[in-house]
């Protein structure tokens, strides 16, 4: 499965993920923890354990820096 991820304010990433991947898997592929970022589909947050059903998503970092 091919997914285009816009990390808001940071750029776009094109990912290839297994067909059974979840939105949590997508975050891990981008090297974000589940507590650090949220995935939005059409502007609406989706649960990290839901299977990926969109070809384009936005990732909103909730925590940045340290």
Q: CATH number for the domain including 50?
A: 3.10.20.30
Whether 16 is covered by a domain: the verdict is: yes
**Could you please report the per-residue DSSP string of 18-55?**
-TT-BHHHHHHHTT--TTTEEEEETTEE--TTSBP--S
Residue 66, domain member (yes or no): no
Element (H, E) at 13: strand 11-16
Average pLDDT over residues 23-45: 96
Q: What mean pLDDT comes out for the span 35-55? A: 96
Distance CA 30, CA 26 (A): 6
Total domain count for the chain?
1
The pLDDT, as a whole number, for residue 6 is: 98
Q: What is the mean pLDDT of the chain?
A: 94
The proportion of the chain whose per-residue pLDDT surpasses 70, expressed as a percent, equals: 95
Give the phi and the psi of residue 26 in degrees, each rounded to 5: -60, -45
64 has a pLDDT exceeding 80: no
Q: Quote the domain boundaries for residue 36.
A: 2-61
């Amino acid at each position: 499965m091919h997914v285009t991820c816009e990390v808001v304010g940071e750029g776009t990433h094109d990912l290839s993920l297994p067909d059974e991947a979840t939105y949590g898997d997508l975050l891990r592929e981008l090297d974000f923890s589940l507590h650090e970022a949220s995935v939005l589909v059409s502007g609406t947050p989706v649960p990290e354990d839901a299977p990926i059903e969109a070809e384009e998503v936005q990732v909103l970092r909730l925590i940045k820096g340290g």
